[in-house]
Structure 1
Amino acid sequence: MQTTSVPALIRAAEVSRDQTALLAFTAHGLRRLSRGELLDTATQLARTFRDAGLGRGDRIMIQAPNSVEWVVIALATLINGSILVPVDAQMGAADLAHVLADADPARVYTTAALRQALPASLPARIIELDTLTLPAPDAPANAMPDATTEAAVAPEDVAAVFYTSGTTGPPKGVPLTHTNLTSNVQALLEERIAGADDRVLLPLPLHHVYPFSIGLLTVLTVGATLIMPRSLVGPRIAEALGEGEATILLGVPRLYEALWNRLESRLTGGKAGRRRLLHGVIGLCSTLQTRLGHQPGRWLFRPVMKRLAPRLRLAVSGGAALDPAVGARLEALGWTVATGYGLTETSPILTLNAPGEARLDTAGRALPGVALRIVDGEVRARGPNVFAGYWNNPVDPDEVFDAEGWFRTGDAGRIDDDGYLHLAGRLSSTIVLPGGENIDPERIERVLNAQTAIREAGVLETNGRLAAVVVPEPDSEGDPQAEAEAAVDAAQGELPGHHALGDVQFSADPLPRTRLGKLRRPHLARLYEDLRAGTRRVEQRPIDPEDMAPEDQALLADATAAATLQYLTERFAEHRLTPDSRLSRDLGLDSLSWVDMGIALRERAGVELGDEAIGRVETVRDLLQEVIQADLAMGDDDDRAGQSLIQALQSPEALLGDADRRALAPRGPLRHGAARLALGGCRLLNRLFARIEIDGEWPEGGPYLITPRHASAYDPIALTAALSRERMEPLFWAGWTGLLFSSAWRRAFSRVARILPIDPGAAPRRSLALAAATLERGHSLVWFPEGQRATDQALQPLRPGIGLLLAAHPVPVVPVWIEGTQHVLPIGHVIPRRGAIRIRIGPPINPSEYGDDRRHIVECVGSALNALGDEDRSNE
């Protein structure tokens, strides 16, 4: 295998300069760079590095999310002979300080948001990618790289220093030479995993060597197209899978587990019977595939998979071990699965389960040029891809390499007769009990994680016995912790007796993991001790990204999700927030509060959630995913994205369905007669139970919006006493679906009484559209602006829906103060009792008085109602 530098290897590829090299989904649209544009721009930037005095061996750090600029800076650094130091954009403050001191970079590229985490005294020059302008690609046609630059880059030079994730201590710098990286790339190319016609989707952060080497360098070398999603979250990945027409997906096990769970949920709707049927079909497809060598799932599930990823053929998993069951399910769906094993120190791949010959219960066979052997149960490796030692030697070389120069991987394993490697977990994680039993904690964790009531589990040793930290599945139908406890008992029945857990602690927060999903076991031990001692903080506090699972951390890389989370943190400052916090149960968000939430999301995050999306939201995580999806959908339709909700309500008919239009249709003779009977019933109740005093007059003409104070469920009945039959005829009422449409007879009564189904929780846009259409058709409308019954004498805060409605359709507003109904029919009572009721009709508020600012509209209506209440109390 010929040794060479990264720039020379990429330059040697026989690929057209016009071939699309990079397809990036960004906040400003799709960004496409040809191979010539990408390499020329990188070469130009390398020249600016030289002009600035940056040369061979100088460290250039990038701490930022994936972007076109990230890729260009990385390539320019390698072309220039400098050393690339890619750093996790979400690295904690302590680890970041250590890396900065250890790497001593001459230049740091970051973002404006991340810059504040850098020390003010940092001697390196700091450049923000947000405002960076890349040099124009005006280099000569053969510009990658020129002879002078190439000569300055020797294969034995360090190309990059990757910092380990710090699962067992501070991050260690892993220097990889150009030979380390290119030898691994060349070995992978010999396996013919990808070709120049492939389009490879990379939903992983480039600061890890796995996506950097396999996802960037290998793709550029083979001449394929690299697709980068806008951010590393589900909706953005789905967008890039479909619109990018990806043929290969490069992921980690947690991504594929989430992908399978999402597919399973969509196909089964959460029904146990459907889930069993799906698993049966999947099992049958796997059996036929094994026996016949064909993939029946490719055509059986084609309609589903076509919507998700129309051209995807290969799913590559690395970074951690893929659950063989998940891999088998993906293959049963029609994809081919390939997996690999390796470490940062091995650049990174040691073994590969190649497409078409993968044995997913193993780690695969050694790559060409890689030698493996097992010594004392440990996997040891040698080859041109293996590094020579850590940066600044924080570890004794004798602990890293044996006497013959073989790298100690720290993984337990064996090699079978066919050359396939079988791994048995990290030797450092193996638990030795007092009785001498060697326990692989990952085995217990796999059994626990297979339980539906357990989201994740981590196993450790404490005081000579096994213990675990378990995160219950919050979507359990009953008590999550009780169901998780039962699941632990069930899982223990599947394990040998010496694997029994002596203690289990339950955590509401995700377990500490690296960005690639590896469990941070020292952090797990600290979490266990905190939970056991009761010192784990459970009081209110904002979400700390370092406490979040990697996939949840990725959500915050999206600006829309980050803005939404910031709003939630401010609004629910008195609550303890986690990604699993339920908006209703844990945060007390009632259905009517969704109107407030919708306005805030529009103002703070720039998105609007549709009715179906709101119906899917249960947890904070759901909300973050939905706002990302909504932002994505708005970006697909520039005209729609430019409309505010007010503008949409100015044409409300377009937002209505057939059922809505029927609700607004004129009454027929039968319903007209039933309405007169219903009105007569209301007036009979008033004569029996209420002495009603009415003060004020209704305005002439219409339409107008009647906004009564809401004190009791008896308010609408009392209000009929103040309305003549002629005024009642064209009048509509806004009624909450949870009360007035909760049964067949109530729905029938509501249709007769012309009560509109208003549900701000599940359908705020539809509710407001119904009200707007009512006014637009010339009908007056009764709308209780508080949204809920008062519990005292004071007016409740008005919901913002009235501001949106009147901003879109400015009509006169008639404030009405109702007093006494709370005594006639108190909350919790169904039978009225005798009492006096006063109805005070205020002077109408003309549109010229409240203007078109929705906040000012709410204030004006609230002030008018309070004025009526003060007047009423002064007359008592």
Structure 2
Amino acid sequence: MQTLADLFHSFPKRGDKTALVNRTGVRRLPVSYRELYDLSLKMASLLARNGVVPGDRVLLWGPNSSWWAVAYWGIIMRGAVAVPVDFMSERGRADSIRQLTQARIVLQSRFKPERIDEGEILLLEDLQYLLEGVEPIADTAAPAPDDMAQLIYTSGTTGNPKGVILTHKNLVSNIKQINQQVPIITPEFTFLSLLPLSHMFEQMGGFFTPLYQGAAIVYPRTLKPSAIMEALAEEDIYVIMSVPRLMQLLKTTIERELAEKGLSKVFASLSGFAQRLSKPQRAKLFFPVQRKFGKNFTVFVSGGAPLDPDVFRFWDSMGFTVLEGYGLTECSPVLCVNTMERQLAGSVGPALPGVELRLDGKEVVVRGDNVFSGYYQNEAATRAAFNAEGWFRTGDLGEIAPDGWLSIKGREKELIVTGGGVNVYPDELEAVLNKVPGVKESCVIGLDRGAGEEVHAVLLLDEKAQRPEEILSRANAQLDAMHQITGYTLWDEPEFPKTTTLKVKKFQVKEHVKKGAATDASGPGRDHLINLVAKVTGTGAAEIKEESYLVADLGLTSIGRLELVNYLEQEYRMDIEDSQIGPQTRVSDLRRIISRREKAGHRGHYRFWTNTPFVRALRMTADALFNYPLYRLFATLEVRGAERLEKVQGPVLFISNHLAYFDQPSLMFSLPRRIRYRTATAAYEEFFFGPDRGLIRLWKLFTYEYGTLLLNLFPLPQTSGFSGAVRFMGRLADNGFNTLIFPEGEHSRDAKLHDFQAGLGVIVKELGVPVVPVKIGGTDKILPPDRVGLPRRGRVTVTFGEPLNFRFEEPAEIVKKAHAAVAAL
């Protein structure tokens, strides 16, 4: 294998084996190696149609997904140069890179609030539709090893981007080196992809390497803890490519669960005892935790920043294997990694085969086929990156043990040199500060006030924290006199500015501290949360105050609430439900939810087991013996357009007008059996679980039990918790089941078709299934919605329309077209 094209041409022989899995939070969408190959060739053809020729740069700015992968391989097989941009980057940075590279086309995501709007634009999420009918490209690229494959833009302390040129030779060399050092990956492995594919650590370890070995990769849409734990529970994960901050977040999640169960002291005792056991014995001892990661979980691979030895020991004590590695984008990126035979806390392991590594003074310098040749159109930066002998200067300070294992002390550019000439490594001080109770996170910087740099701590505290002076005193008590922290600043935003690998952007923190901005983090324009709320509500940032009510003052709609939740999950990697944002929620409340990472209390009343074969058989029996005979006592049913259901293979979404309580059974008995018993109906949740008491409460609980079991109803909330219902519908669709909803949201009292709820557009967009419009007539004459007593006998008509396939439409347009389709019946 000499180029990435050689790797790509190995895909077809793997056939229907799963290559990629999208977990959107609603749907689970697998892609086979054959599908990846075919779609990528179609992508190359689509790029050619849009004027992309070999050598052109193509900007790729989106979250991890199978469509990112299809776009990437399409770029490569067109002979173009991929320019991946960090999805968390602001539009200004992405647009700057577009201009620097003169990108021919931009592939971006609809999940970004602000997008590039100049030049040729395609949305990644639209590729599934854009590629329909496109013929695979016949004239695929045949790149040479020294041809440029991609440009990765890094930012230094000033934030000015530099384009790292990576050739096919650089990338292929690193693929081979890694697989020599850690030869454990097989086609049975499944990787959980949590880091951005724009970052070379994830791209090399979690993209190229699994595809090279025929393994599978799972992509969750967000990095919130629940999405990660759900993926671990439902997918057979073997490997997680991680960064220290993410491993710390997972550690915190487990510790919080233990504390809630009163098991913290027991866990601490077992951890101490486990140090005397072998790794397999530790795994058995901590089986309850191991089980959360799946039966075949093999290894955490940590990179991107130094791993706190305490975090390493936390996972190691429970029998997990943690391979810490080290590298830089300029090195494709991996230079060192611990081995499966030996892992050492605080060390990044030995150099990979084919990588030469040594110290130049205290700086780590390297060379090898994986090391880049220079920065794109930046000769000055290229010259500065190599020493006189042609070794790449990493900018990292390190120590090499006698056995060749490397330890990284910190970045040379972040090293603090005090007025007394003492070198202070910020990472070491941050590790001490972060252990002081009340400190959520810290960032240590050097502030030069004219007599050498002062060691300055920027603190992110929780509400229970003691006074900052006491925190510094406790930290300094653990440091020697030459490394004391002399000042502090409190950071008032929910989090420090971070890269997508969760490293603090220290140059931004430093600039804000210098300007005094960190003490006034709530001002309009700079506050990230204010800007998000402004984007979703359409309100000017200057008009948004901490005491502004999101709904009453800022006009946050039900759909806007879902949009805001999606953005918050992406930006802050946290669990948040739309049920946490209500009419009484203020901006300050939202900031508190983010800061505390509060979990939602709404869990929903969903029963997927009602779709099992046994319960479906029970439902068939109940229909034959009771439900259908009772229905026929009162209704004469006429079905129109039944022939339109012959092409329905499922899953689909049925949408209907809503006249009375007889609507659901009328529609269900109109469906052929093959569809009827694979269809669930959304019902008004607040009817079942309202504030009623006494006999009415018991009656409604009975109707819930009867409805879920024998009518296959599930609750659809109207006021909060809507996102949970959408996820349930996604699970139905993944398992081949249809959903019936009444998008008016309530019965029509005048038999006219009323406006559809805006949430229909979100449901259709997220499910991505055909929509079948249905029109019901006559049920209001049998049992009007407000009538008490026995039904009257009458005629019911159920008319089915042609299935609708929505592709590029936005939610509001979907609602409009769906309403028109039902009205036309």
Q: Distance in 2 between matches of 1:328 and 1:372?
A: 27
Listed as ranges, the matches of 1:443-592 within 5 Å are 443-462=428-447, 463=449, 464-476=452-464, 480=465, 482-509=466-493, 510-531=495-516, 536-539=520-523, 543-544=527-528, 566=536, 575-576=545-546
Q: Distance in 1 between matches of 2:26 and 2:411?
A: 44
Q: Distance in 2 between matches of 1:250 and 1:628?
A: 31
Distance 1:634 1:111, change over 3 A: farther
| Counterpart code for 2:107 | Y
Which of 35, 40, 44 is the aligned partner of 2:42?
A: 44
C-alpha displacement at 1:9, in angstroms? 2.9
What CA deviation, in whole Å up to 9, does each residue of 1:209-231 have, x standing for no partner?
11112111111011101111122
Instruction: Determine helix, strand or coil for the equivalent of 1:79.
Output: helix
Listed as ranges, the matches of 1:354-369 within 5 Å are 354-369=339-354
Q: Distance in 1 between matches of 2:124 and 2:407?
A: 43
Could you tell me which residue of structure 1 aligns to residue 268 of structure 2? Answer: 279
- The yes-or-no answer on 1:127 pairing with 2:111 is no
Listed as ranges, the matches of 1:717-736 within 5 Å are none
- Which one scores higher on RCO, CA 8 angstroms, separation ≥ 6? 2
Could you tell me which residue of structure 2 aligns to residue 205 of structure 1? Answer: 196
What CA deviation, in whole Å up to 9, does each residue of 1:15-40 have, x standing for no partner?
63221111111255111111111112
Is contact 1:245-1:309 (8 Å) kept?
yes
Is contact 1:55-1:81 (8 Å) kept?
yes
| Counterpart code for 1:135 | L
Could you tell me which residue of structure 1 aligns to residue 692 of structure 2? Answer: 771
Listed as ranges, the matches of 1:721-760 within 5 Å are none
- The yes-or-no answer on 1:64 pairing with 2:62 is yes
Instruction: Determine helix, strand or coil for the equivalent of 1:296.
Output: helix
What TM-score, normalized by structure 2, do the two folds share?
0.66
- The yes-or-no answer on 1:239 pairing with 2:227 is no
What CA deviation, in whole Å up to 9, does each residue of 1:110-163 have, x standing for no partner?
12454853254x4xx111223332536998xxx9x97x535x311110101011
Which of 221, 233, 256 is the aligned partner of 1:230?
A: 221
C-alpha displacement at 1:520, in angstroms? 2.3
- The yes-or-no answer on 1:388 pairing with 2:401 is no
What CA deviation, in whole Å up to 9, does each residue of 1:606-630 have, x standing for no partner?
966499xx9x999322797746996
Give aligned-pair identity as a percent: 28
Q: Distance in 2 between matches of 1:603 and 1:775?
A: 36
Listed as ranges, the matches of 1:569-718 within 5 Å are 575-576=545-546, 609=579, 619-621=592-594, 626=599
- The yes-or-no answer on 1:95 pairing with 2:105 is no
Structure showing greater radius of gyration is 1
What CA deviation, in whole Å up to 9, does each residue of 1:56-94 have, x standing for no partner?
211111111122211101011112211000112221244
Distance 1:284 1:118, change over 3 A: same
Is contact 1:80-1:149 (8 Å) kept?
yes
Q: Distance in 2 between matches of 1:305 and 1:244?
A: 14
Q: Distance in 2 between matches of 1:178 and 1:775?
A: 70
Q: Distance in 2 between matches of 1:544 and 1:458?
A: 19
Q: Distance in 2 between matches of 1:489 and 1:110?
A: 48
Q: Distance in 1 between matches of 2:364 and 2:111?
A: 42
Listed as ranges, the matches of 1:200-349 within 5 Å are 200-269=191-260, 274-285=263-274, 287-289=275-277, 293-349=278-334
| Counterpart code for 2:456 | A
For structure 1, which segment, 306-315 or 380-389, has the greater mean C-alpha deviation from structure 2 after superposition?
306-315
Could you tell me which residue of structure 1 aligns to residue 166 of structure 2? Answer: 176
Superposition RMSD in Å: 4.3
Is contact 1:24-1:229 (8 Å) kept?
yes
Q: Distance in 2 between matches of 1:771 and 1:269?
A: 32
Is contact 2:59-2:106 (8 Å) kept?
yes
Could you tell me which residue of structure 2 aligns to residue 728 of structure 1? Answer: none
Is contact 2:46-2:134 (8 Å) kept?
no
Distance 1:18 1:119, change over 3 A: closer
Which of 69, 82, 85 is the aligned partner of 2:83?
A: 85
Q: Distance in 1 between matches of 2:565 and 2:610?
A: 17
Could you tell me which residue of structure 2 aligns to residue 427 of structure 1? Answer: 412
C-alpha displacement at 1:605, in angstroms? 6.4
What CA deviation, in whole Å up to 9, does each residue of 1:508-556 have, x standing for no partner?
223233221223232122222234x786344577951699xxxxxxxxx
Could you tell me which residue of structure 2 aligns to residue 581 of structure 1? Answer: none
Residue ranges of structure 1 left out of the alignment (5+ in a row):
548-561, 577-585, 590-595, 640-763, 780-799, 802-806, 811-846, 850-876
Instruction: Determine helix, strand or coil for the equivalent of 2:140.
Output: helix
What TM-score, normalized by structure 1, do the two folds share?
0.63
Instruction: Determine helix, strand or coil for the equivalent of 1:180.
Output: helix
Is contact 1:465-1:502 (8 Å) kept?
no
Q: Distance in 2 between matches of 1:20 and 1:281?
A: 39
Q: Distance in 1 between matches of 2:529 and 2:208?
A: 30
C-alpha displacement at 1:483, in angstroms? 4.3
- The yes-or-no answer on 1:403 pairing with 2:388 is yes
| Counterpart code for 1:414 | E
Could you tell me which residue of structure 1 aligns to residue 103 of structure 2? Answer: 105
Q: Distance in 2 between matches of 1:564 and 1:306?
A: 42
Instruction: Determine helix, strand or coil for the equivalent of 1:328.
Output: helix
Q: Distance in 2 between matches of 1:505 and 1:173?
A: 34
Instruction: Determine helix, strand or coil for the equivalent of 2:246.
Output: helix
Q: Distance in 2 between matches of 1:337 and 1:102?
A: 38
Is contact 2:191-2:237 (8 Å) kept?
yes
Is contact 2:57-2:83 (8 Å) kept?
yes
What CA deviation, in whole Å up to 9, does each residue of 1:273-321 have, x standing for no partner?
x534422321321x224xxx43333112212331354432211111111
Distance 1:546 1:617, change over 3 A: closer
Is contact 1:598-1:609 (8 Å) kept?
no
C-alpha displacement at 1:343, in angstroms? 0.4
Distance 1:526 1:617, change over 3 A: closer
Distance 1:149 1:622, change over 3 A: same
Q: Distance in 1 between matches of 2:607 and 2:83?
A: 34
Is contact 1:353-1:360 (8 Å) kept?
no
What CA deviation, in whole Å up to 9, does each residue of 1:828-865 have, x standing for no partner?
xxxxxxxxxxxxxxxxxxx979xxxxxxxxxxxxxxxx
Q: Distance in 1 between matches of 2:564 and 2:193?
A: 29
What CA deviation, in whole Å up to 9, does each residue of 1:631-671 have, x standing for no partner?
9x9797999xxxxxxxxxxxxxxxxxxxxxxxxxxxxxxxx
Is contact 2:524-2:530 (8 Å) kept?
no
Instruction: Determine helix, strand or coil for the equivalent of 2:250.
Output: helix
Q: Distance in 2 between matches of 1:635 and 1:253?
A: 37
Is contact 2:492-2:519 (8 Å) kept?
no
- Report the number of matched residues: 615
Instruction: Determine helix, strand or coil for the equivalent of 1:460.
Output: strand
